[in-house]
Amino acid sequence: MRLDGHIHTGLEKSEYIVDPARNQKDLMERLSKAGLDGGVILSVDPLKFADWDPERRLQDCLDTCKGQEHLYPFYYLNPLESDALDQIDMAAKAGVYGFKMICTLYAPSDERCLRACERIAQVGKPVLFHSGICWDGVNSCNNNRPGNFEALIEIPHLKFCLAHISWPWYDECIAVYGKFNNAYYRRPEMSCEMFIDVTPGTPRRHREDAFRHLLTCDYELRYNLIFGTDCNTSKYNTSWAVEWQQRDDALYEKYCDGDVEDFKEHVYCRNILRFIGVSDEKPEKAIPMVGE
């Protein structure tokens, strides 16, 4: 089974087709043509859909996923909203598998963001962050640098993922991943875990360099990489999804040590299922120490 860990329900309001049943039917047909069985569905952006109340944003995403075993709804949260914690409780109770945030107007270390992440961890859900340069039209670069997400290290039991390999700061992203692995070794009772979403992000000609760094570093990434496309439900781009799978598969074949098919199975499926809490796999990860 292959899953897409990064699918939006609506990118621009002017282009969004508000018809969850139609979106789902078209989406499942296009996913199948791309060799995919489902994926993570992100609710609409609360900034771009500001006239939609939280209940409508949530229900639209739930309806898009309704009845499909391998569509997993995520609620897109703005932690600056005064009722953000109530929205987390509402979405968790309604059955979402996780949350999405983009730090456009705030830093990861903002107290409101940290409080939201703490509540997300308390309800047993993960959070997917945008990381890297963001095409949001405003000055948000510093908010989305991967090093700034170290602030999450004090939140017990949080599972979070940095999307787009933090392009163009993929080396910094890898270093932050190593930091969280080491922190888990030192303080296993915290069990805060970081994943990396390889959704492009990276321009085509930079993809191999980013993957070479990812796949030849000293850190065990087999169990923490997640595939995604950044496509959307109302016009899922099948050719785009096929292209990036083919490009990535060739790079896994080129740079992975050990069982490459097992590596791809984790990236395309098992890691996503573990991230969202569907799988109870407990991988044994090698954590390099200084001097070893």
What CATH number is attached to the domain comprising 162? 3.20.20.140
Cα angle 245-126-84, degrees, rounded to a multiple of 5: 125
Residues 42-62 have a mean pLDDT of 95
The pLDDT of residue 22: 81
pLDDT over 90 at 34, yes or no: yes
Helix, coil or strand: residue 1: coil
pTM: 0.95
The pLDDT of residue 218: 87
Which strand (E) or helix (H) includes residue 74?
strand 71-76
Residues 219-232 have a mean pLDDT of 95
The total number of structural domains that make up the chain: 1
Give buried/exposed letters for 210-230 (b at 16+ CB in 10 A, else e).
Answer: bbeebbeeebbbbbbbbbbbb
pLDDT over 80 at 134, yes or no: no
The pLDDT of residue 292: 61
Cβ-count burial of 122 within 10 angstroms (0-12 exposed, 13-18 middle, 19+ buried)?
A: middle
Strand order through the sheet with 98-101: 225-226, 193-197, 159-162, 127-129, 98-101, 71-76, 38-42, 3-8, 231-232
Q: Which two tokens stand for residue 72?
A: 């997993």
User: What mean pLDDT, rounded, does the chain reach?
Assistant: 92
Q: Which two tokens stand for residue 158?
A: 């949080």
pLDDT over 70 at 129, yes or no: yes
The pLDDT of residue 139: 66
The more confidently predicted of residues 154 and 15 is 154
Quick: pLDDT tens for 161-187.
999 999 999 999 999 999 998 888 788
The whole-angstrom separation of Cα 224 and Cα 227 is: 10
pLDDT over 80 at 231, yes or no: yes
Looking at the domain assignment, is residue 187 inside a domain?
yes
Give percent above pLDDT 70 in the chain: 96
Looking at the domain assignment, is residue 291 inside a domain?
no
The whole-angstrom separation of Cα 49 and Cα 139 is: 20
The whole-angstrom separation of Cα 135 and Cα 246 is: 25
Whether 114 contacts 101, CB under 8 Å: no
Looking at the domain assignment, is residue 253 inside a domain?
yes
Nearest CA-CA partner of 151 in 182, 120, 180, 185: 180
Looking at the domain assignment, is residue 289 inside a domain?
no
Measured CA distances, 204 to 7, 44, 142, 264 (Å): 20, 27, 24, 20
pLDDT over 90 at 150, yes or no: yes
Looking at the domain assignment, is residue 6 inside a domain?
no
Looking at the domain assignment, is residue 63 inside a domain?
yes
Looking at the domain assignment, is residue 137 inside a domain?
yes
Looking at the domain assignment, is residue 171 inside a domain?
yes
The whole-angstrom separation of Cα 238 and Cα 41 is: 16
In terms of residue numbers, what domain contains 191? 38-201+208-275
Strand pairing class (38-42; 3-8): parallel
